[in-house]
A = this chain, B = another copy of it.
């Protein structure tokens, strides 16, 4: 049963030259020129999907029974669910929980949270921050979900080691039921540890990369535990998969998004895309998108090895808040950005502004309206201001914020990212540029086999001239 009225839509009127002029706007002809390339990329993606090389296309077909069963047990017995992960292992759960979970859970009693635990996503190795979080939670009432596909992620493994040490000390032999691991089904050190200690575990399919993994147990387990309807989320993704079967770039919402961004970056010199939800709940989605877009498209070479230094920089902003922070720059600064708004047509709550403070012109125009109206009028105002200042902007409209609409958005942006990889002719599924920093850390932390690199780095750092202001 598909409810088409709940489909998300895209309004791209304001990226076209009719709205923002030929220098900064896109012409119909420029979109048409992309069609042959789009057809090729479409075929390439279809091949990756059919051969099973890339797995995110089909995550919405998976069975969630085991996840929901585990979540039901957690809801009965625990107060807190802590994800230990970083990047793709953390951002998706965090973003979707922000959108459709209980944002103020830490302030609510268990009953007001409908019995669901509070979800925390520990996505950094800041000793102050991580230490404070651990000391604020009762380990007896807490489940720790260690998420790393490879098991080799230094940040996540060091978090796990600290937590393991703490649980062993405080709970003795009983700690094992407090840990659940999400990792590769067969390979890696985390899977070994699961087997050795007989820990609860879930699987990341080998053909699903970290930043495309929110629809797997990586995202679904924490979300189900926090009370998110994961079946509705996947149904949303399935619906978007159904809507994105054609290679028609003006009919397929995912491809349209890619095509617009590509022309903007390559032809109209917009090296930045600002994703700006007008909804605090959707702010995390902009953060999640920023990882997807940056890590997938920011590449030194094409798939054939030509040096291109590709990649549009994603920037997250929040409406209406950033009207009082970034919009001055957006409206008057350089013409180097394109904007993607997330608009919510119907919020869950309606907040009416009461008629107080008497007949003052500065407040009485607000009285009797709702905050909902004010927020959406401000969004229209920002769009209008950008448009008349020749700044291209499009709007992704969500009829409401629900697991279903968010599931649509997730799949749409994942597919857009993959498709954009094709348009730029880069590999959207690897991340060679982060290896260097990893190896640096391995070397300097004294990992086996890295002593040569350590010597090399140390020598180079010693030679370099320091300039400081002290």
Contact = CB atoms under 8 A, between A and B. Distances in A.
A377 B12 contact: no
Interface string A408-438: 0000000000000000000000011110111
A324 B434 contact: yes
A280 to B, nearest CB: 4
Contact of A367 (B129, B161, B256, B385): B161
Interface residues of A, number: 149
A441 B103 contact: no
Given A280-B129, A362-B151, A365-B442, A294 B328 contact: yes
Contacts of A324: 86-88, 153, 155, 210, 291, 295, 434
Nearest to A395: B468
Contacts of A350: 127
A331 interface: yes
B335 A309 contact: yes
B13 A465 contact: yes
B432 A332 contact: yes
A318 B161 contact: no
Contact of A128 (B152, B348, B437, B449): B348
A269 B229 CA distance: 47
A436 to B, nearest CB: 4
A62 interface: no
Given A334-B310, A437-B378, A444-B380, A108 B136 contact: yes
B436 A331 contact: yes
Given A298-B329, A309-B335, A384-B437, 11 more contacts: A86-B321, A123-B321, A125-B378, A132-B349, A161-B357, A162-B352, A164-B356, A189-B357, A299-B333, A373-B445, A384-B440
Closest 6 CB pairs of A and B: A87-B324, A298-B329, A381-B440, A311-B333, A165-B354, A298-B333
26 contacts: A9-B468, A9-B470, A11-B468, A12-B467, A106-B106, A124-B320, A126-B278, A127-B349, A161-B353, A161-B357, A161-B363, A162-B371, A165-B356, A189-B360, A189-B362, A298-B329, A311-B334, A313-B333, A328-B434, A366-B445, A373-B445, A384-B436, A384-B437, A384-B440, A384-B457, A385-B440
